[in-house]
Chains A and B, each alone.
Chain A
Amino acid sequence: MRLIKTLMAAATALAVTAFVAPTFAADDPGPAAYAQALKGKRVMLVPLAMGFDLAQGWAHYLKKEVEAWGGTFETRDPNWVVDAGAQAITDAISSDTRPDVLIIHAPDLNSYSKLMKKAQAAGTYVLLVDNPANFPADAFVGSDWDRLGQLEAEAAIKGCGENSSKKIGLVQGDQANSSSLYQYAGIMKVLDKHPDFKVVAKPDSNWDATTSRNVTTTMLQQNPDICSIIDFWDGDATGASAAIRDAKLDGKVFLVTTGGGEKAADCDKLQDGTYGAVVMTELARQSGDMNAIIKFLLQSGQPAGTSHTYIYTLEKATTKADLKPDSCWDLKALQAEAATK
């Protein structure tokens, strides 16, 4: 009896060991290392302003992910003022709670270069998002604006068609922002290959909808047979579309623009015919790219400023014909989600 008991106990012990041992062996070292490298790290986003769709979308996805791995996520709102952005970055670098990763949406090619260098020297990884700058950041995540311009031009040419006037109007942003300059370069590259298409006017909107409306009104006044207009941002393309509407040229002028792929800003307007085509940034994917590179950098152990990676977001021109329910993301839904938490 005693022997049987002992045997059974031994067998049980064996069995338990047999079952448990492989589990121990399969214990993944990843999560522990991951948690150790990331826990308590600070990520800060300094966009041009927090008040527009792209920044709010990035902040939403970044915050969700950063807080999930035990980090701290903060934003600063320079409200389109370059100096305020510079101040925010300066304060961040010199504060006790210096961010480990600084994500910067640069207003132009040069303004923040020195500050970003300082940040890297202090040990902060610098990520550039959306707008490139003359600075070797640890990573750039965003659009290849040249390629984006090419996509816009191709969409405009397609929107015009072969039997059109082949006159295209541009409403540029300004002459300082890289997104505007490279977009223009990309558009011209495509148009050079189609010499029968001509740019008849290329005023700047200074990213302001009223200015966009006024210059587009003049442009249509001078060239009523324009077949397509490319406005460099959906934030002011509402002005160009108002001018087209006022000139009673809806449906005759194919309006192309680019934006963050927000539902009310882009998809709804493709649906109702305001825009002919929008080159949209897939915001969730772009934010995912940022999250991945942040996680990589924080685990890499490499000093800030070591690597220079470019992660371009896949862009595509969307028209009404290829709109899908998930073509856009919905800012209202994200805000509602944030509010319920």
Chain B
Amino acid sequence: MNANGWLNLRSLNQEGIVFAIAVMLFVAAAIGLPGFVDPNNLVAIVRSVSVLGILALGMAVVIIGRGIDLSAVAIMAMSVAWYLQLLNTGTSDGLAFAYVLSGVLAIGLLNGFLVAYADVPAIFVTLATGSFVFGYVRSQLITQDAVPVPQGHWVELLGGLRFLDIPIEVFVFAGLAFLFFLFLRYTKWGRYIYFAGDNPVAARNIGIPVRPMLVLRYVLSAFVALIAGLLTAASLHSINTRVVNSTLLYDIVLVAVIGGIGLSGGRGGVRNVLVGAALIGILLNAMTIIDIPLLYQNLIKAAILLGAIIVDGIINPRDEQTAQQGDI
């Protein structure tokens, strides 16, 4: 509110707009759809976007540092598929996990190294490593798209874990969101990410270790993808590598961008991811209750993304600096 009118449009950023849309949708669904506000349904909404939200947290940190990680879904599915395959062929749990963890960290390091030190654009690096991870694991390490979790394994038990009748994913999502919040807001390296994302050259000139930090972000994103994969396998008792071909990757970017994390870097935070995830969760749940066919669901989702990007372009116009630096 200001002197000129009821609402100051300038003060309304994308996060605010999306939050308002989410609230409106929520109220409309609560009134119009029976069973929508049932506590179980609300838990189901949060749960349905938990894995997506976790992946979006990793993506958010990378995007804030003016990068993008298109290998996230491949890492998520293939690392866990490989892990389960190792277990199914008799490798001991500790050893299998050590292999997979080092594989995941290696890919994160490779992504970061190529972007930071070889100066290859992030979009090409991660596109390539994503394809590589998928191709290599699919052709060399596993025999089938779907790899089941061995019976009685801790991943299976993890999927059945509930506190207060709320699935474990929700707590992991909440916990990670809180950790990322602390990291971005209160740690030195967290603050540096914003500087580096806003203006890498200036950040470097004032002595911020821009390159090592870049590597760290991709490692972080890869590690978060592994967690998301383990949670997926826990819930479904198997992992299907077909998910790499799905629209999940775009959904992750959608959640981050729609929440207001600018692709030009340096802006946004955990709150934006939560807002984006809330909108997508409510939207998908409501559309499923109304029984809208998937084709239209995708159309509606895409239209909202497009709208958010256009609004972002109008409200947050590119400044001189971004125009010079370019974004991803």
Contacts and interface: CB of A to CB of B under 8 A. Distances in A.
A246 B236 CA distance: 10
A242 B236 contact: yes
Given A217-B44, A246-B167, A208 B242 contact: yes
A328 to B, nearest CB: 15
Interface stretch (A141-149, A196-204, A276-284, A314-322): A196-204
A175 B236 contact: no
Interface in A185-231: 201-204, 206-210, 213-215, 217-219, 221-222
Interface class of chain B by DSSP: helix
A80 B236 contact: no
Q: How large is the interface on A (under 10, 10 to 19, 20 to 34, 35 or more residues)?
A: 35 or more
A203 B290 CA distance: 9
B55 to A, nearest CB: 12
A208 B48 contact: no
Nearest to A174: B294
Contacts of B160: 245
Interface stretch (B60-68, B118-126, B138-146, B197-205): B138-146
B41 A218 contact: yes
Interface stretch (B271-279, B281-289, B300-308, B316-324): B281-289
A66 interface: no
A217 B170 CA distance: 15
A56 interface: yes
Contacts, number: 90
Given A203-B294, A242-B235, A215 B288 contact: yes
Nearest to B298: A206
Contacts of B44: 214, 217-218, 221
A210 B284 CA distance: 13
A264 B148 contact: yes
B131 to A, nearest CB: 11
Contact of A222 (B34, B146, B294): B34
A214 B52 CA distance: 12
Contacts of A207: 242
B246 interface: yes
Contacts of B143: 335
B284 A214 contact: yes
A210 B242 contact: no
B175 interface: no
A63 to B, nearest CB: 16
Nearest to A81: B245
B238 interface: yes
Interface string B233-269: 0011110111101100000000000000000000000
Interface string A256-285: 000000001100000000000000000000
A238 B48 contact: no
A80 to B, nearest CB: 5
Nearest to B47: A217
Given A79-B138, A174-B294, A213-B235, 19 more contacts: A49-B145, A51-B145, A52-B144, A53-B144, A81-B245, A175-B293, A203-B294, A207-B242, A209-B236, A221-B35, A221-B40, A235-B145, A235-B146, A236-B240, A242-B159, A242-B235, A242-B237, A245-B160, A264-B148
30 contacts: A51-B138, A51-B145, A51-B242, A52-B144, A52-B145, A52-B146, A79-B245, A81-B245, A175-B293, A175-B295, A201-B288, A202-B291, A203-B288, A209-B240, A210-B51, A210-B232, A213-B235, A214-B48, A217-B47, A218-B41, A218-B285, A221-B41, A221-B44, A222-B289, A235-B145, A238-B236, A238-B237, A242-B159, A245-B160, A265-B146
